[in-house]
Amino acid sequence: MRYVSTRGAAPELGFCDVLLAGLANDGGLYMPAEWPSLPDLTHVTSYAEAAAAVMAPFVAGEIDADVFARLCSDAYATFRHDAVVPLVQIGANEWLLEQFHGPTLAFKDVALQLVGRLFDYVLAQRGQRVTIVGATSGDTGSAAIDGVKNCSNVDIVILYPHGRTSDVQRKQMTTVDSPNVHTVAVEGTFDDCQDLVKAMFNDTAFRDRMNLSAVNSINWARVMAQIVYYVTATRSLGATATNQTTFSVPTGNFGNVLSGWISRTMGAPIANFIVASNSNDILTRFINDNDMTARDVVPTLSPSMDIQVSSNFERLLFEMNGRDGGMTAEQLQRFRHSGSLTVEPDQMATWISPAFRAAKVDDAGIVDEIRRVYESSGQFIDPHTATGTAAVRSLGAHLDGHAVVTLATAHPAKFPDAVYAATGVRPSLPPHLADLLDRPERTNLVANDLAAVQTFVERAVAR
């Protein structure tokens, strides 16, 4: 399998180069040159086996099938449920797909547990070492750290804003006791942390000396790993071409729902997707009104969806443009200048209307929905998941007569305050994290200053 850039001006690469590069050198995102079909999964007996089979065409010719099967099996052994991503029924035709049984209790573990292992394997093959740097306001940092904490060829440095993360989120990063994991509390905001990371990448000499790398949500390997659970969920539900499933996806960067769309393109029996937004509703406005106008980000109860520009949308746009990279690059440039993007009515009719519906859920709606689901099914859901189940109701999708699955993207105990406000009950952390808040922390307070942070990175990685 070869990979092409969504902006059409970067070299075609194979899977391993795409994995390590992240972004293409024309600023675009890598996409497989063609979509394979789903394999026959009749004899598959575990999630890890299904994962290896579904993803096989994407790594073919680059990673040996036995090695890839072992990496999948190791990655999904870290999940605390035998089904890895289990279905739970919450209504007559409604289900949750629980994606939070991994080490850090959020859906990003599904991809990052595999991506960390892929990095380590490919780097060992090539005799290379990288330093992953990233900024986090919460979920991504801990999932990335956990994904690479046992890697021999990766150091990771995660910047977070000092005093501005929740206790659970910070402790999930700072209590990991591995020599290759370094956390930095920056005396500044999340935006300051992001600016520092960008500045480190823009300092070419530093970037090359430290072999900087990233595992952000535009990395193709993350999108690829997320295709699998759409396939296993439709199989478990017995979905067929005449009895298809709808998925409701709490959406931020458009990564999770894009993976679903790819599974549908590969042949999974999926009727359509509900894109659930919080008050940051740029995607809902686009899908319902062909209006993609960027506004300021407002903080909500579902912080991992507080995003203004959904970076993975570029991949769908590339498809909508008939895979014309030049046209996609031009459109994105106009978007950057004007802050607004519309597409042709026939593109909406061909690509968007048949596959996507969308709804926005504000904070009051989130709290009401957590209460409603608890009262009607006894299940606790987190504020991100609540946007998904509330969107199902506001669109009436639970009355469609086929299964509707909402992706439960985070464990309710990660957001205990919102759950308490809605239900009067504070959900507890699962047993393996019950003592999290008492574990010793290792972190480093560093000034909001590029030179200071670079000095820290150089010393940390030299060890």
Ligand X SMILES: *Cc1c(COP(=O)(O)O)cnc(C)c1O
Binding mask 298-317 for ligand X (x = CB under 6 A): ------xx------------
Give 3 or 254: the residue with its C-beta nearer to ligand X.
Answer: 254
Q: By the 8 A CB rule, do 117 and 71 touch? A: yes
Which uninterrupted H or E stretch holds 127?
A: none
Q: What's the min distance (Å) between Cβ of 51 and ligand X? A: 18
Provide the CA 289 distance to its chain's centre, in angstroms. Answer: 25
The DSSP call for residue 434 is T
Q: What's the min distance (Å) between Cβ of 194 and ligand X? A: 15
Give 5 or 259: the residue with its C-beta nearer to ligand X.
Answer: 259
Q: Tell me how crowded residue 203 is: count the other CB atoms within 10 A of its CB.
A: 15
Nearest residue to 312 (alpha-carbon basis) of 383, 373, 221:
221
Out of 93, 169, 183, 256, the only residue in the binding site for ligand X (CB under 6 A) is 256
Q: What's the min distance (Å) between Cβ of 53 and ligand X? A: 23
> Which window, 4-12, 253-261, 318-326, 447-455, contacts ligand X (CB under 6 A)?
253-261
Q: Quote the CA–CA distance of 387 and 91 in Å, as a whole number.
A: 16
Instruction: Identify residue 182 by its one-letter amino acid code.
Output: H
Q: Quote the CA–CA distance of 401 and 242 in Å, as a whole number.
A: 12
The DSSP call for residue 441 is P
Q: By the 8 A CB rule, do 87 and 95 touch? A: yes
Give 8 or 383: the residue with its C-beta nearer to ligand X.
Answer: 383
Q: What's the min distance (Å) between Cβ of 292 and ligand X? A: 15
Q: Which of 108, 171, 360, 414 is catalytic?
A: 108
End-to-end distance of the chain based on CA atoms, in angstroms? 38
**360 is a catalytic site residue:** no
Give 54 or 305: the residue with its C-beta nearer to ligand X.
Answer: 305
DSSP annotation string for 15-51: HHHHHHH-B-TTS-BEEESSPPPPPP-TT--SHHHHH
Q: What's the min distance (Å) between Cβ of 249 and ligand X? A: 7
133 contributes a contact to ligand X by CB under 6 A: no
Binding to ligand X, residues 375-404 (CB under 6 A): 384
Give 143 or 210: the residue with its C-beta nearer to ligand X.
Answer: 143
Binding mask 211-230 for ligand X (x = CB under 6 A): ------x-------------
Angle at 248 between CA 320 and CA 29, to 5 degrees: 35
246 contributes a contact to ligand X by CB under 6 A: no
Q: Quote the CA–CA distance of 59 and 65 in Å, as a whole number.
A: 9
Nearest residue to 427 (alpha-carbon basis) of 378, 387, 369, 390:
378
Instruction: Identify residue 27 by its one-letter amino acid code.
Output: G
Give 153 or 312: the residue with its C-beta nearer to ligand X.
Answer: 312
User: Per the structure block, which two tokens stand in for 204?
Assistant: 């070419």
Q: Quote the CA–CA distance of 418 and 425 in Å, as a whole number.
A: 10
Out of 254, 261, 356, 380, the only residue in the binding site for ligand X (CB under 6 A) is 254
Q: By the 8 A CB rule, do 419 and 427 touch? A: yes
Nearest residue to 366 (alpha-carbon basis) of 391, 395, 341:
391
Q: What's the min distance (Å) between Cβ of 311 and ligand X? A: 9
How far, in Å, are 19, 138, 140 from residue 200 at the CA level?
Answer: 20, 21, 19
Out of 7, 101, 108, 360, the only residue in the binding site for ligand X (CB under 6 A) is 108
Q: What's the min distance (Å) between Cβ of 304 and ligand X? A: 3
Nearest residue to 53 (alpha-carbon basis) of 40, 64, 35:
40
Out of 106, 157, 221, 422, the only residue in the binding site for ligand X (CB under 6 A) is 106
> Which window, 44-52, 149-157, 176-184, 244-252, contacts ligand X (CB under 6 A)?
244-252
> Which window, 52-60, 64-72, 249-257, 332-340, contacts ligand X (CB under 6 A)?
249-257
> Which window, 180-188, 250-258, 339-347, 421-429, contacts ligand X (CB under 6 A)?
250-258
Provide the CA 181 distance to its chain's centre, in angstroms. Answer: 21
Q: Quote the CA–CA distance of 402 and 396 in Å, as a whole number.
A: 12
Give 118 or 386: the residue with its C-beta nearer to ligand X.
Answer: 386
Out of 141, 255, 365, 416, the only residue in the binding site for ligand X (CB under 6 A) is 255
> Which window, 52-60, 85-93, 233-241, 251-259, contacts ligand X (CB under 6 A)?
251-259
Q: What's the min distance (Å) between Cβ of 225 and ligand X? A: 12
Give 153 or 277: the residue with its C-beta nearer to ligand X.
Answer: 277
Out of 409, 413, 416, 419, the only residue in the binding site for ligand X (CB under 6 A) is 409
> Which window, 101-109, 149-157, 181-189, 353-361, contacts ligand X (CB under 6 A)?
101-109
Backbone phi, psi, residue 47, to 5°: -60, -40
110 contributes a contact to ligand X by CB under 6 A: no
- What is the set of active-site residues? 108
Contact set with ligand X (CB under 6 A): 106-108, 139, 217, 250-256, 304-305, 384, 409-410
